[in-house]
Structure 1
Amino acid sequence: MSNTQVFEEQLQSFLATQQLEKGLADYTLEGYEGDLRQFIAFLTARKVPDWCAVQGDHLAEWIGSLSDEDYAVSSLSRKLTAVRGLAKHLVAERWREDVFSELVRGPRISRKLPGALSPEEVDKLLTAPDETTPQGLRDRAMLEMMYSSGLRVSELCGLTLQAVDLESGLLRVYGKGSKERVVPLGSQAVAALERYLDVGRPKLVKPRTGSELFLSQWGRALSRKTFWVMIKKTAKLAGIDAPVKPHLLRHSFATHLLEGGADLRAIQEMLGHSDIATTQIYTFVKGSSLAAAHDKHHPRNQL
C-alpha cells in the first residue's frame, strides 16, 4: 500500500465520522477535505510514511510555510482546526496513542466587530429588487427573510416549502450541525414571501423541481454563490456604497434587535448560536455606537 493510500484511508474515515456523528454541512466537509489533502501533500513531499509518523513539528512547519505564503490568519486557523480534528480521530480509532497536534499553537485571531447597515440602508436594499419579475419577487422575499429572521445564507438557500408556516409566521430552520430551531417571520417578510409564492415561484417551476423554496431560473434551489452575486448587485442598485455581503444582513438583524431592547438570550436563540459568548459580541457593537454618540454630544467633550 502506497503512502497516499495509507493517508487516504484515515482521511475518508475521519470525514465520514464528521458527517454521520456531527452532521457537518457538505461545504464544511469539503473545506476540511481540501485542507487535509494540502497537509497530506506536504507530508508526502517530506517522505513521512503514515499518520503514525506525523509529529507536531511537521504541523508547525506546514503552518509556518503557509504563513510565509501570506495566507490569511482565518484560513490558517481553519486548516489547523481540520488537522486537530483528524489527530483526535486517529486516537479515537486507536491508530495513535497521542494527539500530535496538541502542542501546536494556532495564529492569534483579532476579533473584529461585525458591521451593520443602518435601518435606512436596509430599507433601500430590501425595496431595490424589481418585483415585476419572478426573480425580483424571489430576491425581495429572500432579503426580507434574511433580515427578519437573522438567517445564515446556507440556511436561507436550503429552505423548503414545508419549513414555512405563513399562518403562524414561523420558520423551521436547520443550522450548523443540522440543529433545528424555530424563528419568527416579520409581517413584511411574510407579505413578501406570499407574493413570491403566489406569483413568482410558479413561473420558476420546472418539471423536475422539488420542494425547494427559492428557485433559480432552472427550477433548482438557488445556490449560495448566486445569492451572493445577487445581493451585491442589489446593493449597487440601491446606491449603498459600503460593501454588502450576505452575512451583513444577519449582523444588521442582531444589532438592530439589540438596539431596540431585545433580550440577548432571545437573539442567541434566533441566530442559532450554541454559545452566548458568540452573541455577546453585538453588545460591543452597541457599546461602540454609544461611545461615538457620547463623544459627539456630551458637553464636556466639546471643551
Structure 2
Amino acid sequence: MAAALAAFRRELELERSVSAHTVRAYCADVASLLEHLRRMSGSSLDDLDIAVLRSWLGKQRTLGAARTTMSRRAASARSFTSFAHRRGLMSADPGQKLASPKAQRTLPGVLSQQQASQLFDPDVGDEPVAVRDRLILEILYAGGIRVSELVGLDLSSYDAERQALRVLGKGNKERVVPIGAPAREALARYLDVARPTLAGARSGTALILGVRGGRIDQREVRRVVHAAAQAIQGAPDIGPHGLRHSAATHLLEGGADLRSVQELLGHASLATTQIYTHVSVERLRSTFQQAHPRA
C-alpha cells in the first residue's frame, strides 16, 4: 500500500503536472483512506471496495469535515482507485461507484463597478513601490488572472503587438489575456520608473519585483489588494481572488458571453464560470427587491 501511494504521488507530480498543493492534499487523503482500510482489517488494495470508501467518507463527515473537503476527498479516492486499476494494482475500480458530496458554493464577495474604479488613484507619484502596487491592481482586475499567475509573469510575458499577457495557468496551460489601456500604461510606467529601482541580483526575468529585488511573493500581493480594498468605504474585504471574481462579474454585467469569460479566466469547465452568472442574478434580485414597488 505504501508503494502504491508513492507511485500515485509520482504520477501526480510528473505526469499530471498538478500543483504542489493538490499533490499534498490528494496524497494526505489517500493515506487516510489506506489507514482506514487497515483498521477495517484490509490486507491488500483489492480489499478496498465501495463499502470501505463510503465508510471512510462517512467517518470524515462525523468528524465535521466541510462539504468542500468531503467533495475533494471523494475526488482523491476516485483518482487513486482509477490509477491503481490502470496499473494492475487493483482488479476493479470501486471509485467509479463513489458519488461526490456536492460542495456548497457560496457567492463570492465582489466589488461594485464604482468601487472597482476607486481602487485606482489617478496619481500615485513616482515612488517605486506605489507604482508597482498600482500595476498589481490593474493587471489583476484587467485580466482577471490568479495571484499565482501574476507572480509568475516574466518580462517576456507581455506581447506588445497583441496588447496582451501570456499567462501560465493551472496544469501548465498557457493562455493569452488581453489587458486594456490603463493596465498597459501602468505597465509602461512601472518598467520605466519602478522596476529599475527595485531590481537587484535576484531579479532575473521576473516582471513584478518585491522590495528586496526578487520575484514578488503571493503574500505581498494579497497585502496590497487587501489594503486597497479596505481604503474604499463600504467595500468587502477582498484579496486577489476577489478582484478576479469582480472582473468576471463586471464582464458579464457588461454583456460578455460566458464562453469568452471562461477563456479569459482559464477555466477548464464552463460550470466553474457559471457561478459568476449567479452573482449577477443575485445582484439583480437584490436591486429588484429594493427598488420595485411590488417586490
TM-score normalised over the length of structure 1? 0.86
CA root-mean-square deviation: 2.5
Confirm or deny that 1:208 pairs with 2:202.
Answer: yes
Confirm or deny that 1:277 pairs with 2:271.
Answer: yes
1:259 maps to amino acid: E
Displacement of 1:34 after TM fit?
Answer: 3.0
Mark the CA change 1:286 to 1:236 in structure 2 (over 3 Å): closer, same or farther: closer
Structure 1 unaligned regions, length at least 5 = 1-5
Contact 2:67 2:104 in 1 (8 A): no
TM-score normalised over the length of structure 2? 0.88
Confirm or deny that 1:296 pairs with 2:290.
Answer: yes
Aligned to 1:219: 213
Q: Deviations over 1:83-115 (max 9, x none)?
A: 211110001101112123333333232333333
Counterpart of 2:22 (choices 9, 23, 28) is: 28
Return the alpha-carbon distance in structure 2 between the equivalents of residues 107 and 263 of structure 1.
30
Return the alpha-carbon distance in structure 2 between the equivalents of residues 109 and 286 of structure 1.
20
What are the equivalent positions in structure 2 for 1:3-152 lying under 5 Å apart?
6-7=1-2, 9-44=3-38, 48-127=42-121, 132-152=126-146
Displacement of 1:169 after TM fit?
Answer: 1.4
Displacement of 1:172 after TM fit?
Answer: 0.7
What's the % identity of the aligned pairs?
36
Return the alpha-carbon distance in structure 2 between the equivalents of residues 201 and 47 of structure 1.
61
What SS does the corresponding residue of 1:81 show, helix, strand or coil? helix
Aligned to 1:247: 241
Contact 1:128 1:238 in 2 (8 A): no
Contact 1:134 1:204 in 2 (8 A): yes
Contact 1:174 1:181 in 2 (8 A): yes
Aligned to 2:255: 261
Contact 2:109 2:236 in 1 (8 A): no
Displacement of 1:74 after TM fit?
Answer: 0.8
2:118 maps to amino acid: K
Return the alpha-carbon distance in structure 2 between the equivalents of residues 25 and 129 of structure 1.
38
Aligned to 2:174: 180
Displacement of 1:194 after TM fit?
Answer: 1.6
Segment of structure 1 superposing worse, 129-138 or 62-71: 129-138
Return the alpha-carbon distance in structure 2 between the equivalents of residues 128 and 62 of structure 1.
56
Mark the CA change 1:143 to 1:33 in structure 2 (over 3 Å): closer, same or farther: farther
Displacement of 1:150 after TM fit?
Answer: 1.0
Contact 1:128 1:237 in 2 (8 A): no
Return the alpha-carbon distance in structure 2 between the equivalents of residues 182 and 283 of structure 1.
23
Aligned to 2:165: 171
What SS does the corresponding residue of 2:165 show, helix, strand or coil? strand
Contact 1:152 1:250 in 2 (8 A): yes
Number of equivalent positions: 295
Return the alpha-carbon distance in structure 1 between the equivalents of residues 123 and 84 of structure 2.
50
Displacement of 1:222 after TM fit?
Answer: 2.1
What SS does the corresponding residue of 1:181 show, helix, strand or coil? strand
1:127 maps to amino acid: D
Return the alpha-carbon distance in structure 1 between the equivalents of residues 227 and 137 of structure 2.
13
Displacement of 1:46 after TM fit?
Answer: 5.1
Return the alpha-carbon distance in structure 2 between the equivalents of residues 129 and 37 of structure 1.
53
Return the alpha-carbon distance in structure 2 between the equivalents of residues 224 and 16 of structure 1.
26
Displacement of 1:31 after TM fit?
Answer: 2.5
1:114 maps to amino acid: P
